[in-house]
Each structure stands twice: as structure tokens, then as C-alpha cells.
Amino acid sequence: MKVAIFSTCVVDLFFPKVGQAMTEVLERFGCDCYLPENQICCGQPTYNSGYLKETDKTLHNEIDSLLSVDADYIVGPAGSCVAMLRSYKNSLKDDPEYAQKAAELADKSYEFSQFLYRVLGVVDAGAQLDAKATYHRSCHMTRLLGEATAPFVLLDHVKDLEMTPLPNIQNCCGFGGTFSAKEPEISQTMVDEKVDSVLSTKAEILISADPACLMNIGGRFSRRGEKIKIMHIAEVLNSNVDVKRIKYKKDIEKVEQ
């Protein structure tokens, strides 16, 4: 199956390891990956700040680029950005040139863990990681993309990984895109509470499916000099993989029958 990788500007600019891990996992499950050359950014920084006019060009470029590869699916390593891609369908519904393309894009776009779980039917990616970890649930992935299950199922199946629930998991980490820079005072109190919550779990690793949240929470950890390891879920699912451990939903259902 052909997959176009929606790399996101954050991964392109800052985090090569996240993109690599995602590509390697997808290829392990038989995906033929492509990286559309002209993609840039989903448009959230300007759109969410109220610069809708300025965002139009960004959305059009992203659509043209991601659809330039004739892929079955479009997969990205960030729940928030994928939720934004899907929202084009609504925000461009009156755009005579792009309405249909936006709908097509929305229908085949998935966040990485969501794609593994919902499309490929994977429950155990075959990974192993001997550590105690906690998971930060991103607001946009949960509420706008509506994905609150996939990452938890996949992480629960990683061998030797002890997952500890994060208290007040429902609360935003204080990132909020440009909010974090425009309202640093408020953002600080929010991210401090999140750092404290993570510390209270005594986890060694903080995992998420949204690199931008991790950049925020990790950035505050770093500034406070508190110890933590930050991992993207793709990196976790790409750790010490033994393909013999791989399990699909259908395997489990068979066992249950």
C-alpha cells in the first residue's frame, strides 16, 4: 500500500528522528512510503491566530503537494496537524477549486498510531522497551481528530514497558501553537502543572503522538533542570522490534473466539 508521508513543519525543521522512526515502522508493515516534496505546513500557526486570508495559500499548497503522490493514505506524526488537514474539508467547502480536493485529502489522512491501529489493524508493533513511562494525550488529537484509543492500545502492548497513567490527562499542556509565545505567562502555569503531573508519576519517559506538545513540555523540563526522557510514539514502537511479536486485531479476536 502506498503511503504519502505528511512530515509536518516541526519534524522537518527540528526532529529528524521522529520522521525516521515513523517511516521505518510503516515500512515494516509493508507500506511503500513517499515524501511529497513541496509540502510545508498544515497552516495552524496563522489560521489559529486569525490570519485566515494569509493561510489560504498555505492550505492550497499543502493540498496540492500531498495529493501530488497518488497514495492510498496520508500519514503524519502529529495528531494536531492531521486534525487540521481533516478540517480543510470544512474550511474550504466553499472554495470552488479546492473543496473536492480538500475532501479527498481529509478522507485519507491519518495520524501515525491511528493509522497503525485503525487501518492496518495492528495492536502489537513488536517493540520492546524496558522502562517506566507515561503518555501525554494531545488535545487536538483527542478532541478534534477524535482519536483517544489507538496510542494507548499500541503502548500497552510494548514488551516490558510499564505505562503509568498521567494525572489530569485531560488538561492542555499549555502549548496551543502561537499561544505559547503570545501568552507566555498563562502558558507557563499550564506547562508547569503538566511537568509536575509527569514528575508525580515517577516515569522515566514521557511519550506523546504530538511533537509540538513534547517540545513544550520537554522545553519546560529542560528549563527547570528536571530529568526526563522524551520519546515520540513512533520511536517507542520502533524500539528493539521482534517481528515475531507483531499482533493484529484479527489475531486477538481469533484467540478470543
Q: Rule CB under 8 A: which of 5-44 touch another protein?
A: 5, 7, 9, 11-20, 23, 32, 35, 37-41, 43
Cell of 51: 490570519
Find the binding residues for another protein in span 208-227 (CB under 8 A): 214-216, 218-227
Cβ neighbours, 10 Å, residue 165 = 9
Smallest separation (angstroms) from another protein to the CB of 205? 8
3-state DSSP assignment of residue 219: helix
Question: In angstroms, what CA-CA distances link 217 with 142, 206, 220?
Answer: 18, 9, 5
| CA–CA dist 177, 181 (Å, integer) | 8
Residue 205: strand pairing partners:
133, 229
169 belongs to the binding site for another protein (CB under 8 A): no
User: Which residue lies nearer to another protein by CB, 126 or 218?
Assistant: 218
Find the binding residues for another protein in span 52-71 (CB under 8 A): 52-58, 60-61, 65
89 belongs to the binding site for another protein (CB under 8 A): no
Contact 123, 146 (CB under 8 A): no
121 belongs to the binding site for another protein (CB under 8 A): no
151 belongs to the binding site for another protein (CB under 8 A): no
* From 103-111, 137-145, 156-164, 239-247, span contacting another protein (CB under 8 A): 137-145
Cell of 36: 511529497
95 belongs to the binding site for another protein (CB under 8 A): no
**Cα first-last separation, the chain:** 29
Contact 184, 159 (CB under 8 A): no
User: Which residue lies nearer to another protein by CB, 33 or 246?
Assistant: 33
Smallest separation (angstroms) from another protein to the CB of 239? 12
User: Which residue lies nearer to another protein by CB, 5 or 25?
Assistant: 5
Smallest separation (angstroms) from another protein to the CB of 42? 9
Question: Which of 86, 88, 75 lies closest to 25, judged by CA?
Answer: 75
